[in-house]
Copies of this chain bind each other. A is one copy, B any other.
């Protein structure tokens, strides 16, 4: 296809007319499709129904005879810690298994840091005049929301195919002791789908930081969430931090929200033994413990890490056609136009599209007007502000592949229309 930038005004206007006709046809379809969030589909949830219907739903004792119906067990049942230690690639005593939302665990770690500090803090972060976090962007909106509501200043760091721009990261953390934290989704990143390179992991682990209690909040949400047999591999950040002489630098988080049930899974956090002991030393005053029956059910259902991996192949078989639909429409309609770039991830829950600067907000508005809801513009950036107004996050997991195809046909029309207006106005 001819790059749109090379078309003259007449050609652009003719193309626009054609696209408007197609857009009008979509409006008449009165679609109501929602691709705003990375939500598992019903077929995916059905995969774990044996937890509710099978014999395992009736079990309540662990191998050692612990009655999961009763009190006890602050950091999760032993079997769950063992299983999810494999999953998180840490030692059995480097993990806490909790209730359903890993986001809550991340939030609580930060609240703790504000109120009583991290294990190596000189004082609680809340006593400081300012606390700043590095936010590789585009990234996960809920991470940024935590910072915003807690008054933590967010510093945008660019993402590329290997992860965050490490030159910027290193320069920032070396020079500013108010930078206490950094978010990352290191594998099949939300939304760009990239996986941090070994070099990025090593640089994160060993870089010099002005703040000695600088902490990486590593949300490994998609570690086994491959879309096919092509798997990205991620270097172990905790091991790298230990080797880099900074074992307390990172907390890892994970959950089964997109493995078992998004509304009834288990979440986990991991870190060096010293970090986990510190967290437990506080947690003992905060709660009685997590839902142990749910943890037992997960252990009995998945059994081993191989069980989790096998289960995720079934998820992939459901998700792959939806991601293919996104990619096929984008490839077919926009290749060579020069008006957009898009990701082709090997896993995760999102496709990330970058339009021409200044177009994303209008594209999302136009798609919504024809019945397709996308993640709000700017959501993938700190403060909801995409500096270039370019990024669009596509979450194709919930609708059917056919609906995803339909929705994407509309989205590419919207991208084309908004881009053409942009180009025309630039003449």
Contact = CB atoms under 8 A, between A and B. Distances in A.
Given A45-B70, A286-B104, A289-B101, A150 B263 contact: no
A306 interface: no
A234 interface: no
A99 B293 contact: no
Contacts of A287: 101, 103-104, 107
Given A107-B286, A116-B150, A126-B126, 11 more contacts: A39-B70, A42-B70, A52-B293, A69-B262, A70-B261, A99-B291, A111-B115, A114-B115, A142-B288, A257-B288, A262-B288
A273 interface: no
Q: Which 8 A-B pairs have the closest CB atoms?
A: A104-B287, A264-B293, A69-B261, A149-B285, A45-B69, A263-B292, A71-B262, A107-B286
A192 interface: no
A148 B287 CA distance: 14
A294 B115 contact: no
A146 interface: yes
Contacts of A282: 149
Given A52-B60, A114-B115, A285 B39 contact: no
A228 B146 CA distance: 48
A67 B46 CA distance: 11
A156 interface: no
From A67, A285, A286, A293, name the one whose CB has the most chain B CB atoms within 10 angstroms.
A286
A145 interface: yes
A58 interface: yes
A73 B39 CA distance: 13
A70 B104 contact: no
A53 B57 CA distance: 7
A257 to B, nearest CB: 7
Given A107-B285, A285-B146, A263 B115 contact: no
A264 B69 contact: yes
A145 B257 CA distance: 32
Given A126-B126, A291-B99, A292-B263, A40 B70 contact: yes
Contact of A69 (B116, B263, B286, B291): B263
